[in-house]
């Protein structure tokens, strides 16, 4: 039986790396994409590609090198920045947040969706802040809300091609991106989370595998936040 093939964009990040490991363990062959950071040497991949998702031409050129159909695409490239009031946010920071988190996801979706075989699926990684918004995270929240609605729209567009498009919105996950929180701030988050802990990259990876395996779910956004925004 031929192994399924998965394309993971953002595989050099904390969440992307763990998703790639989980997919490999589940029996997928892998195509890994990243920009900054190192690919995990312990993860076997058929191809490793580097590009900046903000640059549409780079995305197009890189993904055009893939000559085979894939079963699954996971787009988890993204950036965050320090919490600030919108009026205090530098314009270049605003541009980077929107261009990476929203436009970057749009470009990846545009050029990756045609690679997906019938019966396959795409999973975008958004954020729980895209569901409810957050003070001092206005731009990031807006960009991730765009990813959620992009996902819903593309689920309708690609239904005719038998390709499912879903989204995962992680809560506070233990990654380098959240290292800026003090121990007291982390404890406050834990105290306000019904599950009683912060999330892990493995929690997100499990949701990806669930969506990849369930062929009757499309256009959905699964919030993986331990109940924080119930």
- Would you name the residues annotated as active-site residues? 140
The string of DSSP codes covering 27-90 is T-EEEEEESSS---TTS--SEEEE--TT-HHHHHHHHTT--S-EEEEEE----------GGGS-
Handedness of CA 136, 10, 219, 197 (dihedral sign): negative
Distance of CA 158 to the CA centre of its chain: 19
The string of DSSP codes covering 209-229 is HHHHH-TT--S-EEEESTTTT
Find the helix or strand (DSSP H, E) in which 165 lies.
strand 164-170
Whether 53 and 9 have beta carbons less than 8 Å apart is answered as: yes
End-to-end CA distance of the chain: 42
Q: By three-state DSSP, how is residue 118 classified?
A: strand
Extract the tokens encoding 40: 């995990």
């Amino acid at each position: 039986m031929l192994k399924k093939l998965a394309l993971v964009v953002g595989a050099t990040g904390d969440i992307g790396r763990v998703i790639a490991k989980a997919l490999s363990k589940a029996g997928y062959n892998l195509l890994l994409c990243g920009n900054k950071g190192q690919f995990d040497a312990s993860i076997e991949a058929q191809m490793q590609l580097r590009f900046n998702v903000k640059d549409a031409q780079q995305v197009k050129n890189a993904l055009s090198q893939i000559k085979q159909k894939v079963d699954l695409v996971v787009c988890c490239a993204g950036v965050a920045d320090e919490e600030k009031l919108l009026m205090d946010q530098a314009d270049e920071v605003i541009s980077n947040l929107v261009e990476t988190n929203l436009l970057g996801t749009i470009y990846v979706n545009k050029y990756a969706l045609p690679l997906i075989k019938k019966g396959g699926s795409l999973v975008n990684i958004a954020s729980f802040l895209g569901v409810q918004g957050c003070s001092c995270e206005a731009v990031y929240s807006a960009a991730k809300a765009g990813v959620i609605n992009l996902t819903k729209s593309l689920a309708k567009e690609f239904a005719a091609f038998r390709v499912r498009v879903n989204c995962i919105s992680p809560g506070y996950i233990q990654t380098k991106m959240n290292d800026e929180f003090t121990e007291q701030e982390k404890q406050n988050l834990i105290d306000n989370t019904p599950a009683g802990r912060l999330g892990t990259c493995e929690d997100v990876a499990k949701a990806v595998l669930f969506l990849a395996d369930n062929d009757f779910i499309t256009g959905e956004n699964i919030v993986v936040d331990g109940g924080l925004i119930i």
